[in-house]
């Protein structure tokens, strides 16, 4: 018995729109990561990027559960001594709300060249408008699946 692997010509990439309005950050991120990796398809292979494109809208309206709004801290380093920069979730939501979702999803993707290729198919927008109407994206309801 042979294991069938899809070729790059056989992979059909769809476009999905996820509305993050009043949705929990972790649930949005896990569903988006699943779509980006292609785990929802029968042709999934861990060594091949079979995933779809994902557009997330209303990133500024995503919910954080518990006390995370006040307690969660995003950290990054400039590369210089003493260059640790900490930003709270409230401040991050005010300045760059799409970055909250991007960081959550990138943490769920593989940490390889393949994961970076999957991450490039993610588009996150703070508001309701996005420039991907020409690709005819279909709505993906979080609680439905």
User: Which pLDDT tens digit goes with each residue over 59-83?
Assistant: 999 999 999 999 999 999 999 999 9
- Taking the CB of residue 64, how many other CB atoms lie within 10 A of it? 17
The domain limits of the chain are: 15-65+97-139
- The C-alpha atoms of residue 70 and residue 112 are separated, in whole angstroms, by 32
Residues 13-34: tens digit of each pLDDT: 999 999 999 999 999 999 999 9
Report, as an integer, the average pLDDT of 106-113: 97
The confidence score (pLDDT) of residue 99 equals 97
| Ramachandran angles phi, psi of 99, nearest 5° | -65, -30
Spatial CA neighbour of 28 closest among 38, 19, 40, 41:
19
The confidence score (pLDDT) of residue 144 equals 57
> CATH number for the 15-65+97-139 domain, one of 3.40.50.1860, 3.50.50.60, 3.90.1180.10, 1.10.3720.10?
3.90.1180.10
3-class secondary-structure state, position 6: coil
The confidence score (pLDDT) of residue 9 equals 85
**73-77 and 84-88 beta bridge pairing:** antiparallel
The confidence score (pLDDT) of residue 27 equals 95
Kindly report the pTM of this predicted structure: 0.92
Number of H helices, E strands in the chain: 5, 6
* Sign of the Cα pseudo-torsion (18, 112, 75, 85, in order): negative
- Taking the CB of residue 19, how many other CB atoms lie within 10 A of it? 17
């Amino acid at each position: 018995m042979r294991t069938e692997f899809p070729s790059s010509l056989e992979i059909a990439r769809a476009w999905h729109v996820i509305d993050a309005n009043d949705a929990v950050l972790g649930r949005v991120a896990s569903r988006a990561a699943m779509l980006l990796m292609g785990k929802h398809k029968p042709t999934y292979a861990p060594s091949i990027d079979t995933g779809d494109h994902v557009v997330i809208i209303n990133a500024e309206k995503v919910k954080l559960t518990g006390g995370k709004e006040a307690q969660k801290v995003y950290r990054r380093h400039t590369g210089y001594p003493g260059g640790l920069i900490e930003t709270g979730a409230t401040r991050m939501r005010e300045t760059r709300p799409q970055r909250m979702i991007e960081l959550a999803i990138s943490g769920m993707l593989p940490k390889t060249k393949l994961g970076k290729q999957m991450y490039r198919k993610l588009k996150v927008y703070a508001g309701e408008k996005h420039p991907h109407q020409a690709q005819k994206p279909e709505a993906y309801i979080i609680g439905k699946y």
